[in-house]
């Protein structure tokens, strides 16, 4: 059951958001979440641990970068001074936080030295939050950003919460001290029921009530789309085209997608496939496209802004994703919101949104044959079939992934945490841990 609405707790709250690298092209859902919270009257201070890498193509991301403070940008001298001042001004808290950093670091795959750096980052963060009068800190991703938030709390900073996306957190829950972070947090958020089940799995049952599901939201330009516009998209009727969107990394399965495209071409099926995104796999994927003689069929288009993504989706018959590991990709929601069915794998939280034969095709991950079959089905499906699937998908997204509705749920949690939170320290490390 959600806590009471923040309007009944406090008209305005001063909240800080902490992310490892912000803004990022692939993390636009965080920007939308912040904007939706601010639309409800909350004041959000954006803090990134390190400078975001890669080029930003979305104007809103570029503007967001100007509003974001970066901890590591203060330089080595300022980092050292923050640590020194913390040791002098609050030695007991500093040593307790250092002990916690070492406790977590000992079990992690990143080591003690890196976690002592997190402790130094937490010293800078606590000073910033004190100056800004921050009443609550929310982190995204249960990795190093939440570690720094937890250490900041141990140093006397505000209560913290975090959103866990997966799959990284679920791959290494013990190394990331996921149970410790949940126990010390005011609350924890999962983006799907699957994600919540994994947080349940790795936390104490007494902490389960503080774990909530809040879905990622879709940009309003997708939800506001005129369905008549979507129906007029020419390629759904005439040009058999598909689109895939995501970072070019092994877990996204784009190499299998290209292999499936090759099989369809050998069958004599004419179509086009556009892959939006960038990443370390780009050279290997480009070489694969050339080796399979698909340069006239498959295009690596790089990152694109929201307008271009929307146009590419509307110009396609369906979105295709062949991922092996995900949380619940926002791009699936965007495609469905525009009335486009999806081909995707039955992993993590995906089946909570996509139902096979209803709003898309669900296939086993890692199977080129199943992927080829599903893509063939899309390319040969009737207009009526695609329209029916698209309409059902759009209705599901409208119900479950509206940014304003999901932000209201998060604002309620933040409002209660702000009202109830004191500047008490987190509980000590449990005996035997």
pLDDT tens digits, residue range 279-289?
999 999 999 99
Mean pLDDT on 159-164: 98
Structure confidence at residue 217 (pLDDT)? 86
pLDDT band at 6 (very low <50, low <70, confident <90, very high): very low
Residue 302: enclosing H or E segment and its boundaries? strand 298-302
Query: Model confidence over 319-356: pLDDT tens digits?
Result: 999 999 998 999 999 999 999 999 999 999 999 999 99
**Who wins on pLDDT, 68 or 419?**
68
SS3 state of residue 427 = coil
Which fold, 220-400? Answer: Rossmann fold (3.40.50)
Structure confidence at residue 425 (pLDDT)? 40
- What gap in Å lies between CA 71 and CA 341, rounded to an integer? 42
pLDDT band at 238 (very low <50, low <70, confident <90, very high): low
Contact between residue 243 and residue 277 where contact means Cβ atoms under 8 Å apart: no
Q: Which residues contact 126 (CB under 8 A, 6 or more apart)?
A: 86, 152, 155, 156, 157
Q: Is 297 left (phi over 0), alpha (psi -120 to 50) or beta?
A: alpha
CA dihedral 89, 93, 95, 100 (to 10 degrees): -150
Query: Residue with structure tokens 């469905």?
Result: 336
Mean pLDDT on 386-412: 94
Structure confidence at residue 413 (pLDDT)? 96
**Who wins on pLDDT, 420 or 218?**
218
Mean pLDDT on 86-115: 95
- What gap in Å lies between CA 220 and CA 402, rounded to an integer? 8
Structure confidence at residue 429 (pLDDT)? 44
pLDDT band at 422 (very low <50, low <70, confident <90, very high): very low
Contact between residue 212 and residue 190 where contact means Cβ atoms under 8 Å apart: yes
Q: Which residues contact 74 (CB under 8 A, 6 or more apart)?
A: 82, 124
SS3 state of residue 389 = helix
- What gap in Å lies between CA 345 and CA 27, rounded to an integer? 21
- The single-letter DSSP state of residue 189 is E
Dig out the tokens for 364 from the structure: 């086993």
On the question of a common fold for 6-217+403-420 and 220-400, the answer reads yes
Mean pLDDT on 192-216: 97
- What gap in Å lies between CA 78 and CA 71, rounded to an integer? 10
Dig out the tokens for 125 from the structure: 């963060």
Residue among 47, 113, 49 nearest 104 (CA):
113
Contact between residue 247 and residue 277 where contact means Cβ atoms under 8 Å apart: yes
- What gap in Å lies between CA 319 and CA 13, rounded to an integer? 39
- What gap in Å lies between CA 348 and CA 190, rounded to an integer? 12
Least confident of 154-158, 198-202, 380-384, 425-429: 425-429
Query: Model confidence over 101-123: pLDDT tens digits?
Result: 999 999 898 999 999 999 999 99
| Prior bond of 131 cis (ω within 30°) | no
Query: Residue with structure tokens 């525009």?
Result: 338
- What gap in Å lies between CA 338 and CA 393, rounded to an integer? 8
Q: Where are the beta strands (DSSP E) in 173-228?
A: 187-190, 211-213
Q: Which residues contact 192 (CB under 8 A, 6 or more apart)?
A: 213, 215, 327, 328, 348, 349, 352
Q: Is the pLDDT of residue 4 over 50?
A: no
Structure confidence at residue 224 (pLDDT)? 73
**Who wins on pLDDT, 238 or 151?**
151
- What gap in Å lies between CA 7 and CA 4, rounded to an integer? 8
pLDDT band at 419 (very low <50, low <70, confident <90, very high): confident
Least confident of 129-143, 211-225, 231-245: 231-245
The domain ranges of the chain are: 6-217+403-420, 220-400
Q: Which residues contact 384 (CB under 8 A, 6 or more apart)?
A: none
What is the residue-averaged pLDDT of the chain?
90
SS3 state of residue 179 = helix
Residue 132 CA, chain-centre distance (Å), reads: 26
Q: What percent of the chain has pLDDT over 70?
A: 91
Structure confidence at residue 221 (pLDDT)? 75
Query: Residue with structure tokens 């496209």?
Result: 289
Mean pLDDT on 239-255: 94
Q: What is the 3-state secondary structure (H, E, C) of 37-89?
A: HHHCCCEEEEEEEECCCCCCCCHHHHHHHHCEEEHHHHCHHHHHHHHHHHHHH
Query: Residue with structure tokens 């409800």?
Result: 40
Least confident of 13-17, 224-228, 329-333: 224-228
Q: What is the CATH number of domain 6-217+403-420?
A: 3.40.50.2000
Structure confidence at residue 327 (pLDDT)? 87
Residue among 154, 168, 92 nearest 121 (CA):
154
């Amino acid at each position: 059951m959600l806590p009471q609405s923040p309007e009944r707790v406090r008209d305005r709250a001063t909240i800080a958001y902490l992310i490892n690298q912000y803004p990022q092209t692939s993390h636009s859902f965080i920007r939308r979440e912040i904007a939706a919270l601010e639309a409800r009257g909350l004041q959000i201070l954006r803090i990134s641990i390190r400078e975001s890498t890669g080029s930003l193509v979305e104007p809103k991301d570029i503007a967001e970068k100007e509003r974001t403070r970066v901890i590591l940008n203060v330089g080595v001298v300022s980092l050292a001074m923050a640590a020194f001042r913390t040791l002098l001004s609050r030695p007991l808290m500093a040593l307790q936080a250092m002990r916690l950093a070492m406790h977590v670091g000992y079990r992690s795959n990143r080591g003690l030295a890196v976690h002592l750096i997190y402790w130094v980052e937490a010293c800078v963060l606590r000073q910033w939050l004190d100056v800004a009068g921050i009443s609550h800190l929310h982190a995204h991703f249960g990795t190093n950003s939440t570690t720094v938030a937890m250490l900041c709390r141990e140093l006397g900073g505000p209560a913290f919460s975090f959103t866990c996306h997966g799959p990284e957190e679920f791959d290494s829950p013990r190394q990331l001290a996921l149970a410790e972070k949940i126990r010390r947090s005011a609350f924890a958020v999962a983006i799907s029921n699957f994600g919540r089940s994994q947080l349940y799995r790795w936390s104490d049952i007494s902490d389960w009530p503080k774990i909530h599901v809040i879905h990622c939201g879709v940009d309003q330009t997708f939800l506001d789309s005129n369905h008549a516009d979507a129906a007029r998209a020419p390629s759904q009727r005439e040009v058999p085209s598909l689109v895939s969107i995501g970072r070019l990394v092994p877990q996204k399965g784009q190499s299998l997608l290209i292999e499936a495209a090759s099989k369809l071409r050998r069958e004599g099926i004419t179509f086009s496939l556009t892959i939006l995104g960038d990443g370390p796999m780009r050279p290997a994927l480009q070489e694969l496209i050339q080796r399979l003689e698909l340069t006239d069929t498959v295009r690596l288009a790089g990152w694109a802004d929201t307008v271009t993504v929307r146009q590419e989706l509307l110009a396609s018959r369906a979105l295709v994703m062949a991922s092996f590991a995900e949380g619940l990709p926002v791009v699936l929601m965007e495609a469905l919101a525009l009335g486009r069915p999806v081909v995707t794998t039955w992993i993590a939280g995906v089946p909570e949104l996509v139902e096979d034969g209803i709003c898309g095709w669900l296939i086993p991950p890692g199977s080129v044959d199943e992927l080829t079959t599903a893509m063939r089905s899309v390319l040969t499906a009737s207009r009526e079939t695609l329209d029916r699937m698209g309409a059902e998908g759009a209705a599901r997204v409208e119900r479950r992934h509206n940014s304003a509705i999901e932000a209201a749920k998060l604002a309620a949690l933040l409002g209660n945490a702000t009202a109830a939170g004191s500047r008490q320290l987190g509980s000590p490390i449990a005996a035997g841990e």
